[in-house]
Structure 1
């Protein structure tokens, strides 16, 4: 019999004494039990989207049938029973918010989003509020009018859209109209110029004139996506191998990858019909003519990086990657060979801001996507930054200046890209400080993505970067987009939070919106809602597809209204509350001290539980801890937010804090939950059938998770933990030699190669099971690989990363879960016994 392991070494230093050190961890609510119970419930059950039923958790794989309400994969709300009055909402302390992921991936077993052809007139819309026709509007006056479910206005039906009604006041063509049956639809508005994107206002920093002879504010015809790939060719990028790895990745994405025998290992991933341009930069800008009618690319050097311009028109810069295959391949070969000819003693310089300005100029009147590969601090050209002086590590803990751009040019550039319909994504591989607070503002404002590879190693990080770029160009993406959220009478949209630029308070505008991005919307109640009617929310996203179609994706949700506190709590969605709290915390980092944000998070958690106690369980003894079923593990997830890298009360490099801050601002609900509380598996306990393809269905069933604490681990075990970006395989000192042989190919823990980037392919059941689990996780992320580390107990530095992901332990400069639950309980008890408001309770966390 093996005993449980002592707590592994972690980054928190000496342990603090808790509030109730004798609490039994097995007796407190478990996040894993909640996840596993919900997964078991929906394993063989289909979710029907009509209002009135409990919704699967975001961490559950389920199949939804759209019955007029959008799937929870597209939109989730903090409670599926909206409070009827603002007073009730305030008393319950549950924020009225929704998190919307318009292009979320669907299960293969689900129907795709229907496409409705609208022609020149466009879709039917309310004359008053602009809302789109949907399953929850009603038809009156014999079908000549329809009543909007959002504002109750009666709109006359155009002649081309008219249909008579049957005895139930349903249109006779109901079965032929997906927009009247489905909660999520796409309207094709490519033929209607009213829906085309407008060119941005004249920007004095852009020298290019519109290729269209019409006015600068004229609309732009939808066309296939244009990509600009921006490569860092500074000596730092070359010497680290980052440039060579970038060229390998680009070649695989553009032209596919083939093995020595000629068989295809990876297909071409760039969508057909899209055009590309290549830009490189160091202390100068380099643009390339890649026309297919030449044997070698023509390079044009722009030495004046303070005032960059395009020496070639966009029509020459952009080429079809297939037609120009040979020229592009020649250029990538030349860039790969730079390392051999690089002179010694060269100082690394970077004019990233100028390269992005030039790319924006090339896309200013069409929109598109800039994909940049960055390795060097941007000390030259537009938005030039000065490296910060060495400062005290403790100063970086709580100083807001580390979370705002140090030059406003980066904000201006991000807003200019958003207004022009240009998204910017960045692959970062810094060897030292890069100032992500500044340069990361650009993708954050224009809807791009950020990928961070600290201490880049080509063999380890190259395949990961390829999987990330492949996901970036293949996932559902819209560009030149604007969105609008509308709500029914009595509900008002207060604030939208996400990775976009707010051209006005209620209309986000940005360059790109993809399947992995989500944003939150907070509402306030301005009038009493009737419990006899549904409250409605509608989100409309106007965008251009990568293949050049102009569409409007409309997402509809009808919600029940409750006038009892118990019903609001009964249908609450903790995942949304947690994800919204994360977003709110990330947006407050530039304006509030981290210590204040952490205290507010604990207070918000206590306030929700206190409100339930006061409104739904007032007759119980004040000293008894009462938690609503929907929020059973809210303290565990709140503690996980406090331990996350952006808010951690311990020294974290500012670049790391800002990277995770920008990522969490746009993350999906599911991605947020899995990142906050990483999935932990005891792989040594797998039975003989789990994680292997079923003999009849071929489905690979995943094993159950375990709680994230060393209390539940044994020294003879092998464990896998995954937070969506990092996977760590922890090997106990007493692990069985046979298990080691089956998984690593060696039977001695000292012979395990901790430098491997993937598990060896062995013909053993154990090896197949663990590799299937990792492959399934990769599939769930859309094909993105996660970095893999091996941590042997008490031997490897990777054990610190592993220990910091055990969220129920005392680590990350915060309390263990039992102690934190005691803190929350004490705050509630103090407020109940004193009769004071929770905000005035004196019990605070010791950080």
Structure 2
């Protein structure tokens, strides 16, 4: 018998739809579909379209699902069935004036008028619940257009001609599918100074082809605070991407915290999980239902899959359910409760082993007293809803101190292990105890630990053996180790030596100080990762502590490093900062024993990964714990020409909640494809680009050198501007007096300048290695919302802020308008706030009027003011309350546990403090680093030079 494929263009196939008694023509590369022409008359034979082709045998439909009344017709596409579907809640009353053409694919969720009239209409833009710094609200615009699959043109009773097919397919939404492309707006950076408010705007709009999405829900595509791409239109070829010079990558924050008023991620509890049987993609709002609703076509690989039997069944009410109301078809981010086949063991409880340094230095600094008090105060906040949480306390100096806490008593016993060469557990039970059962003895112990060691004169640290002991204690289960250390590890495994050498700072050898000095930390981290153990480091040293080596543990176990240089609890500001951050970490709900994989449409490949995890296989990221608001960056390669009108990225994180439930979090991002260079530039997301480049810069510091890293970052910026000039401006390859770029990239140079001036990679011979290593840990783990101010601080003028600034508006405290980061804005009588999410400076001009000093500091004059760390008083006057409100809002407005300390800086005060504050004003010249104006001129010269040989 003849096959329909003999009459179709290459790359198309025919699939029999038993429900409609039709063949569905499918383009295998893109998944686009086209019905065969309608049957002419009730008795017209099937072979009027495809002569001598028989329909599939009758038994092929024997397993067809029986839908509830009213659903069957809706799925099969009969006009009266659709009317019934709309009556049942698909979007309003069914229009009566026009019937749907037979043989047309039914696309649910559209307004009835759009569905029948086939007119392209535009939904209003949607702004997400909050304006995240560096990305703003999730901006998704859904557009509905003509339904795919109009009748093929051609004489009745004849097979469709290839030419007619081609014409028809050309109208089906190739490329942008009839969408208006993003308009490129070019600006001259030499005459357009950077405006800090630009960074609070949303990324370029995502314009998907018509009918790409099943759902009109504006939350159907990923919010940039979860998942964002450096390009919001994906080039169809690697040549086009190379021509633009823009790096292609994803920035992922899979477990971001929720601000007040934000909706939780929807949870699918029925354990009905539909996945593609070829590529294992989870069903999402961008798949396509075919075969009368019985099958779905994967948006990644175009495989046709059966819809699970219970997909349309409401298990709560035990009745037929509404498919189109399912969360996984309406939300970009969703969690599934995982069935047993997703588990290799029962979900683990939350387990915390806290290692506390009790050496002389730790006791004297007040760290031990502050830490134990913080744990005690936060016991009720530690995740323990299922009463399965376990906890252990191990203290260490040059020996290890274990505590046996029998349940049902307030007594505890200290067991000392002084053999640090061969670590063992002195008792098999009562060391790792149930938090609920042993609460009384744990509280009593925490109240006594500081007193036990208050006269300890031991100087030395067996941190490595303590880590090994903690690992032995929890390895069968997994969990979190929290290490609190004040000095360099000196005893046993992982012992380190002071390698700080001022002579090599600022030289090519400095990068050696940013690598681990001992292989113990990487090998032990990989052991931890294998056993589902995560490590967080809290470091307090006033001397060299080798943060670079110790940070390897959090880096490979998906933990985090926290650094408190020269910590002294006698200063209330130090104690408050540590207590706040440690308490937030203890109370943080975390994902446990997690693995993450990112899938992408055909032709795209995940090339390299940046962040805190261990790459277990080519693309499987092992994360023993996923803390909230930790970010990861992935570079992407285009391997084959992309022919689909849009591409998909899907992040899947299989994890156990800290409440003992196995879940899968799925985040979906659909982006249109383009072969247009101008559209590529118009879709570029400068915040995502800067985040990816920050990750790459840190990696290059360690593999090459700091100088090489800075050169590579600047060279990438030159490449982007040179490519834009050559491809998008009239100057082409010639010299130009302008420095042109698309408006959506106008802040990229100032972000790159901020990165180059950041402590993590800045050229300087004065930066201690510990501070540099900690800054690099932040650059590779902060989400974009925190990273942008970290490299491009916020700068506010407080003495003349608008009357409403610092007062409470509809969306909370109203912030002042941010200023450009230049000392030109500093007035001698002014009061300014400079903050980067980690540190805050209150700059007071030398001519500040006495009334301002009195209102803010409760002091008689500027001369009475002292610079340094401070806690600002809240005084009984409106200006004091507004200034305090702005400072408090700055501390609360971003995600994460960080509590920035406040420093008062007098204009004529301590030199070191002034220089530190002024280093945040990145548009000024500092040391060997150029001002912003010098930087863009240097960039222009490089671009003109590169263009000549481009």
**Where on the TM-score scale, by shorter chain, does this alignment land: which range?**
0.7 to 0.9
2:245 corresponds in structure 1 to 93
Q: What is the rounded CA distance, in whole Å, between the counterparts of 1:287 and 1:772 in structure 2?
A: 45
Instruction: Give yes or no for the alignment of 1:784 onto 2:934.
Output: no
Q: Distance in 1 between matches of 2:305 and 2:433?
A: 47
Per-residue deviation at 1:563?
A: 0.9
Say whether residues 1:372 and 2:478 are aligned partners. no
Q: Which segment is superposed worse, 106-115 or 233-242?
A: 106-115
In structure 2, the residue matched to 1:356 is 467
Q: Which of the numbers 426, 442, 445 marks the counterpart of 1:311?
A: 426
Matching residue within 530, 539, 564 for 2:676: 564
Distance 2:667 2:819 in 1: 36
**Among 483, 489, 494, the residue aligned to 1:383:** 494
3-state SS of paired residue (1:684)? coil
Structure 2 partner of 1:517: 630
Post-superposition Cα deviations, 1:664-716, rounded to whole Å, max 9, x if no partner, equal: 1111011111100110111111233221123xx47321111001111111111
Q: Where does residue 692 of structure 1 map in the other structure?
A: 807
Equivalent position of 2:256 in the other structure: 104
What pairs with 1:529-540 in structure 2 (closer than 5 Å)? 529-530=642-643, 533-540=645-652
Separation of aligned partners in 2, 1:391 and 1:644: 20
For 2:482 and 2:795, how far apart are their aligned partners in 1? Answer: 34
The structure-2 alpha-carbon separation of the partners of 1:279 and 1:340, relative to structure 1 and needing over 3 Å to count, comes to: closer
Q: What secondary structure is seen at the aligned counterpart in 2 of 1:293?
A: coil
For 2:784 and 2:370, locate their aligned partners in 1 and report how far apart those are by CA, in whole Å.
32
- Contact between 1:65 and 1:71, CA under 8 Å: does it hold in 2? no
Residue 552 of structure 1 and its aligned partner are, at CA, apart by 0.4
Secondary structure of the residue that 1:524 maps to in structure 2? strand
CA drift of 1:465 comes to 1.0
Find 1:457's aligned residue among 550, 561, 568.
568
Q: Does 1:673 align with 2:801?
A: no
Task: Give the equivalent residue in structure 2 for 1:548.
Answer: 660
Q: 1:286 to 1:372 in 2, by over 3 A?
A: same
Please report how far the alpha carbon of residue 145 of structure 1 lies from its aligned counterpart in structure 2 after TM superposition. 2.2
Cα deviation, residue 51, structure 1: 3.8
Query: Which stretch has the larger CA shift, 742-751 or 284-293?
Result: 284-293
Q: 1:331 aligns with which of 445, 455, 466?
A: 445
Distance 1:389 1:188, change over 3 A: closer
* 1:35–1:478 distance in 2 versus 1, CA, 3 Å: same
1:623-634 correspondence to structure 2 within 5 Å: 623=736, 624-634=738-748
Q: State the distance in 1 between where 2:670 and 2:676 align.
A: 19
Partner of 1:136: 286
In 2, distance between residues paired with 1:528 and 1:415?
38
Q: Is the contact made by 1:708 and 1:805 (CA closer than 8 Å) also made in structure 2?
A: yes
Shift of 1:396: 5.8
Please name the residue that 2:606 is paired with.
Answer: 493
2:817 to 704, 714, 720: 704
Pick aligned residue for 2:341 from 161, 175, 194 = 194
- Give the drift of 1:777: 1.9
Partner of 1:251: 376
Per-residue displacement from partner, 1:193-233 (whole Å, max 9, x unpaired)? 3212xxxxxxxxxxxxxxxxxxxxxx321133111111000
For residue 801 of structure 1, what is the aligned residue in structure 2? 916
Say whether residues 1:606 and 2:758 are aligned partners: no
Q: For the residues of structure 1 that align with 2:507 and 2:731, how far apart are their CA atoms? A: 47
CA RMSD of aligned residues (A): 2.5
Question: What is the distance in 1 between the residues matched to 2:597 and 2:308?
Answer: 24
Larger radius of gyration: 2
Q: State the alpha-carbon separation in 1 of the partners of residues 437 and 876 from structure 2.
A: 43
Alpha-carbon spacing, 1:627–1:25, altered in 2? closer, same or farther (3 Å): closer
Residue in structure 2 matching 1:597, options 677, 691, 709 = 709
User: Any unmatched runs of 5+ in structure 2?
Assistant: 1-187, 211-215, 315-319
CA distance in 2, matches of 1:33, 1:554: 32
Measured after TM superposition, the shift of residue 50 of structure 1 is: 7.0
Residues of 2 paired with 1:324 and 1:778: CA distance?
35
Preserved contact between residue 606 and residue 637 of structure 2 (Cα < 8 Å): yes
Residue 316 of structure 1 aligns to a residue in which SS?
coil
328-337 or 710-719: bigger deviation: 328-337
The equivalences for 1:638-787 within 5 A come to 638-651=752-765, 652-694=767-809, 697=810, 699-755=812-868, 757-782=870-895, 784-787=898-901
Deviation readout 1:129-150 (Å, 9 max, x if unpaired): 1111111111222233221111
Partners of 1:50 and 1:67 within 8 A in 2? no
- Cα contact 2:834–2:840 (8 A) shared by 1: yes
What SS does the aligned partner of 1:337 have? helix
CA distance in 2, matches of 1:29, 1:85: 34
Deviations 1:310-340 (A, max 9, x none): 2333x62233445434322332232222564
CA distance in 2, matches of 1:280, 1:243: 10
SS in 2 for 1:536: strand
More divergent stretch after superposition (780-789 vs 373-382) = 780-789
Once the two structures are TM-superposed, the CA of residue 490 in structure 1 deviates from its matched residue by 1.4
Comparing both chains, which one has the higher relative contact order based on Cα–Cα distances under 8 Å and sequence gaps of 6 or more? Answer: 1
State the SS of the aligned residue for 1:521: strand
CA separation in 1, counterparts of 2:622 and 2:811? 44
Q: For the residues of structure 2 that align with 1:721 and 1:714, how far apart are their CA atoms?
A: 14
- Whether 2:198 is the aligned partner of 1:34: answer yes
Q: Offset of 1:739 from its aligned partner? A: 0.9
Hey, what does 2:228 align to over in structure 1? 76
SS at match of 2:581: helix
- Show the counterpart of 1:3: none
CA contact (8 A) 2:785 2:894 kept: no
More displaced 10-residue stretch of structure 1: 242-251 or 540-549: 242-251
What SS does structure 2 have at the residue aligned with 1:601?
helix
Question: How many equivalent pairs are there?
Answer: 744
Say whether the 8 Å CA contact 1:185–1:553 is kept in structure 2.
yes
- Work out whether residues 220 and 365 of structure 1, in 8 Å CA contact, stay in contact via their aligned partners in 2: no
SS state at 1:789 partner: strand
Find the residue that maps to 2:484 and give its secondary structure: strand
| 1:403 matched to 2:514 | yes
Distance in 1 between the 2:596 and 2:747 partners? 33
TM-score (ref. length: structure 1): 0.84
Query: Aligned equivalents of 1:704 and 1:550: distance in 2?
Result: 45
1:618, distance to aligned residue in structure 2 (A): 3.3
Q: Which runs of 5+ in 1 are unaligned?
A: 1-23, 54-63, 165-170, 197-218, 256-267, 838-847
Alpha carbons of 1:83 and 1:514: their partners in 2 closer, same or farther (altered >3 Å)? same
Summarize the alignment of residues 103-122 of structure 1 with structure 2, pairs less than 5 Å apart: 103-119=255-271
CA contact (8 A) 2:312 2:323 kept: no
Matched residue of 2:888: which SS? Answer: helix
TM-score by length of 2: 0.75
1:437-476 deviation digits (Å, cap 9, x = unpaired):
1111001110111111000021221111121123223334
1:385 CA drift (Å):
1.8
